[in-house]
Structure 1
């Protein structure tokens, strides 16, 4: 513990890590279950990043992001509890790291009573040149994760729990303890971040993203304003995006189209070697864009949204906005990014570079197919007009020559 309690009294400046997040493969939302025999008592689906500040061998400070990977598993120390032992979910990942959620309840509610993180500081692949090699465990009882019994705690937004020089940032989170059945309850308690208020999270009906009746007509707003957003890592820009966004949501038998306002939008994100995530929050609307890098080619692999009225949707199997490492993807034409049958995004004047940003500026632009197609039409029309002018000119010259040949000298 000397690692985190030096006489320098360093403060952890909460790395602004984001919503719908997860840097490791980011927005990886793993599902974890604790069972007693065949009965499931705890179920969790979440993404998590753990930011740790530690002391190097030269007594300098370093901050590292430890992410919950898709290989994370439920540890054997997890338990459904009994009359004297509280329910406990322990998620094991990496080389000796774990994330623990300890639950308690009263007559009407349950909560995460204690959140603990255990880190193997001798894991040199993560904690490079760490001056301390002993395992480190930190915990907090101020988690804010609380819900009514027989409902699922749901929080799509980014929420951060601050421990001692360690920050745990959750997103895409659904958690339920004391399960009455083998799956999440149909009703949900929505977190304050998703509803955009400071009032206690209400008990709501389940999120439904499909409707059976035709949606009510809606008024389409004017084209949105272009905003510029960036994500930094170690004080350097690692992701750049410039775009105008318009959301199309069908929910509760109504289609809503509205613009994202860059003036009121807060951007954050996480960058990793092969995954970068951009989070945008405009009021009570939360958007997530996850980019993947594979063989020096990047693409938008996931889009997610959560709104204050309980709507949530995402798609983790997308292949939009393809580009090359070190270059930016550019598309001036309007394009529709379809997430599913009830949610899509109209994007205008888009330029994005999620990897290989140099000096905080966009790299060489790679035009989208839509822009290239839009250029082909003017070229074809111009060539056709040029050909027509040439034909008219030739016909005129031939006609003029023939008229001259008809005159005789007197």
Structure 2
């Protein structure tokens, strides 16, 4: 009979517990070993048709039913259960030379009111996603210290500090490691600056180093994002995004649209656009419809959530939200547009600057933006353009008139008698 040993380590990201699982076969030899940390960010709908973010982590009351060793014909399974009806599992298959994870199954229970207060949908919700783990040589240990994430169906799963080996041979954990792509030293991870990162100049320098002026951060590139409901586009967004983080020192971070993916939800009265820039930065924009019962209905931006993670160990650098916005207001069925820079104050330590914004979270037709309602800053520009053109035409008319007067005077002078 297979046996599962389970231990809990110190708390980390989102107060999640480190987990060590050692599955043994009938001869009490290890056949599947894993040690990792994980947490979940879940967007759910409330009874008031708003959407909220819930954080779900492994707690101390974890069980481990259903894990199996697997063999040449049967997949191995690593399964844990925790909290009020939540569970997570991943299955592994092997060839003659390699093993790899296939599918992750995650079930969260919205009856857990401590995690999902005022949830509209009650009961267990299950999602199944394809694991991105690449094949690993048999008898090798798969290691990934950096944070990895998988997004699907309003759920972002975070994993870090992972050590894993499926189909362990002869009960002995392998000595060779197979590292994930995130752990390879091809590029240095982005780390927010601290005082410890500042290098001071040597006191033995004979002449002072030339003072260099920091290069100003350029405006971010504009990205195009969309969401689908079935085969139809239900949300369109075009925007350049820049984060202004004020911690020890101000830091401007441009969101690169080339590495940013879009996910989220569409609804009749609420919609959420979730952006993941691929560098452990997550931004959620939530839109709602006001005056839902009136003839003329409008939408606006109500809430913004931002999470910045340390790319090295998955710890939270910054988590901020503001659910009291009343910005980007436009008629339902129209789009909102603002070409000029705008600033969203999330909290004292975080601002979001937007550039070349155009957004339509409801009633998108034929995959195209509807007629835009422009922001006041852009309308000022539209007023200035005809004024400037009018002034230029006025000066031109005056110049023509002066030239005409001078021409007539010269003509009269030519016909005077001597």
1:141 paired with 2:87, answer yes
Is 2:253 aligned against 1:307? no
TM-score normalised by the chain length of structure 2: 0.51
Aligned counterpart, 1:257: 252
Contact 1:230/1:267 (<8 A) preserved: yes
How much has 1:299 moved relative to structure 2? 0.9
1:362 maps to which residue? 369
Q: What's the counterpart of residue 276 of structure 2?
A: 281
Residue of structure 2 equivalent to 1:317: 324
Residues 219-265 of structure 1: per-residue CA shift (max 9 Å, x gap) = 643222222211222332211111111111112x1211111112221
SS at match of 1:307: strand
- Structure 1 residues without counterparts, runs of 5 or longer: 1-17, 30-45, 49-100, 117-139, 145-159, 176-190, 201-216
Aligned 1:162-173 pairs, distance under 5 A: 162-163=106-107
Q: Counterparts of 1:173 and 1:381 in 2: how far apart (Å)?
A: 57
CA contact (8 A) 1:26 1:47 kept: no
TM-score (norm: length of structure 1):
0.52
* 1:279 and 1:289 in contact (8 A); partners too: yes
Contact 2:299 2:330 in 1 (8 A): yes
Aligned to 2:351: 344
Please name the residue that 2:267 is paired with: 272
In structure 2, relative to structure 1, the CA distance for the partners of 1:342 and 1:195 (3 Å cut) is: farther
Please give the secondary structure, in 2, of the residue aligned with 1:28: strand
Structure 1 residue 399: Cα displacement: 3.2
Which residue, 113, 116, 119 being the options, matches 2:82? 113
Q: CA offset at residue 305 of structure 1?
A: 0.4
- 5 Å-filtered alignment, 1:213-224, equals 220-224=216-220
Count of residues paired in the alignment = 250
Please state whether the residue corresponding to 1:291 is helix, strand or coil.
Answer: strand
Q: Which runs of at least 4 in structure 1 moved beyond 4 Å after TM superposition? A: 166-170, 172-175, 191-197, 217-220
Tell me, yes or no, if structure 1 residue 104 matches structure 2 residue 61. Answer: yes
Shift of 1:292: 1.0
In structure 2, the residue matched to 1:128 is none
Q: Does structure 2 conserve the Cα–Cα contact (< 8 Å) formed by 1:27 and 1:47?
A: no
Distance 2:41 2:158 in 1: 14
Q: Distance in 2 between matches of 1:287 and 1:218?
A: 27
- Give RMSD over aligned pairs: 4.0
Q: Distance in 2 between matches of 1:19 and 1:248?
A: 23
Contact between 2:306 and 2:320, CA under 8 Å: does it hold in 1?
yes
The verdict on how the C-alpha distance between 1:271 and 1:307 changes in structure 2, with shifts beyond 3 A counting, is same
- Residue 231 (structure 1) aligned with residue 227 (structure 2): yes
Cα distance in 1 between the residues matched to 2:405 and 2:281: 69
Alpha-carbon offset, residue 272 of structure 1? 1.6
Q: Deviations over 1:331-360 (max 9, x none)?
A: 222222222322111212221100001122
The question of 1:390 aligning with 2:397 is answered yes
Residue 406 (structure 2) pairs with residue 399 (structure 1): yes
Counterpart in the other structure of 2:416: 408
More contact order relative to length (CA 8 Å, sep ≥ 6):
1
CA 395–232 in structure 1, closer or farther in 2 if over 3 Å, else same? same
Deviations 1:181-234 (A, max 9, x none): xxxxxxxxxx9759965227xxxxxxxxxxxxxxxx986432222222112223
* Residue aligning to 1:199: 161
Larger radius of gyration: 2
Deviation of 1:270 after TM superposition, in Å, equals 0.9
Deviation track 1:15-43 (CA, whole Å, cap 9, x = no partner) reads xxx956334433336xxxxxxxxxxxxxx
Q: Deviations over 1:351-404 (max 9, x none)?
A: 110000112222122222222222333322221121111112222223333444
Paired with 2:157 and 2:323, the residues of 1 have a C-alpha distance of 23
CA shift at 1:114, angstroms?
4.2
- Cα offset, 1:167, TM superposition: 8.0
Q: Would the alpha carbon gap of residues 219 and 342 (structure 1) be closer, same or farther in structure 2, given more than 3 Å must change?
A: farther
- Aligned counterparts of 1:336 and 1:229: Cα–Cα separation in 2: 20
**Structure 2 unmatched ranges of 5 or more:** 1-39, 64-79, 91-103, 118-146, 150-155, 163-212, 292-296, 311-315
- Following the alignment from structure 1 to structure 2, what is the Cα–Cα distance between the partners of residues 398 and 20? 77
